[in-house]
Homo-oligomer: A and B are copies of this chain.
Amino acid sequence: MKQFVDGLVLDMLEIRRRRPLVFSMTNFVVMNETANALLAVGASPVMSDAIEEAVEMAGISSALVLNIGTLYPRSVDSMVEAGRAANRKGIPVVLDPVGAGATRLRTDSARRILSEVDVTILRANQGEAMAVAGLESRVRGVDSVDDIGEFTDIAIRIAEGIGCPVAVTGRTDVITDGSQTWLCDNGHPLLQAVTGTGCTVTALVGAFLAVNPDVTRAAAGALGLFGMCGELAAQGARGPGSFEIALRDFLWSVEEEQVRAGVKVRRP
């Protein structure tokens, strides 16, 4: 996987050099942490969900991140408006269907965005991805699909079902567009003890897509980098508080050699 890591290092340095503007329509719980993670990797965050400026914001941005974590029916209109503007401009759109499957509003909102916007990649956990793809009734106890071979097949079916690449995070992350698939083994249990780490990695996928048009490769790089920084941060952490601070520090300070030594992305 030397070629993969070479590309990831280039993306990382390119983000630090270009400082791409990542426009995030995201939830109120994680706005601050998401903006700070984008700043830490070198990107420039801008947050808004006012429909009145959605098109203009998309016009000056290099990527758009849509996250339905705290949802109002009106927000979905803004997201569709911004998504279409992003499509017209040709910049990547990442969708995080937070809580899809938990309530109809969320499942329906994610599907509406997928049907009205050309989404570049869906970043979700297993349950959310399956709910969006309408697989929830067929597979029970989705969070326990620990057989990565089995879940890779499911992820491919999801990508085919919704018509766009997916980055499904779990114990092992699966990133696939149906034909090209990557697996990522980075991560640490403390990431589950901090709110919004899923939303944060979604935003980082946006930053990576802003500098690399190879969708699954860019997304796998973002997931590998974030998970690896989580592993580094866990080493000195006394709990989720100090862990979160160290994670942000590592996103900022991580060096090429650490990436080469620590990223665990592979083919299935």
Instruction: Give A contacts to B, CB under 8 Å.
Output: 27-33, 35-36, 39-40, 45-50, 52-53, 56-57, 60, 69-73, 99, 102-106, 192-196, 237-242, 244-253
Count of chain copies? 3
Q: Which of B69, B71, B192, B252 contacts A53 (CB 8 A)?
A: B71
Give the interface SS of chain A, mostly helix, strand, loop or mixed.
helix
Whose C-beta in chain B lies nearest to the C-beta of A33? B32
With both chains docked as a complex, state the minimum distance between the C-beta of A60 and any C-beta of chain B, in angstroms: 6
Q: Can you name 15 A-B residue pairings with CB atoms under 8 Å?
A: A28-B31, A28-B47, A45-B195, A46-B102, A47-B70, A48-B71, A49-B70, A50-B73, A56-B102, A56-B105, A193-B252, A239-B251, A239-B253, A241-B244, A241-B245
A39 and B30 CA atoms in complex are apart in Å by 14
Q: Which of B47, B70, B103, B238 contacts A29 (CB 8 A)?
A: B47
A102 cross-chain contacts in B, Cβ below 8 A:
46, 56-57, 60
Q: Given known contacts A238-B246, A241-B245, what 6 new A-B pairs fall within 8 Å (CB)?
A: A28-B28, A30-B32, A40-B239, A45-B195, A52-B73, A56-B104
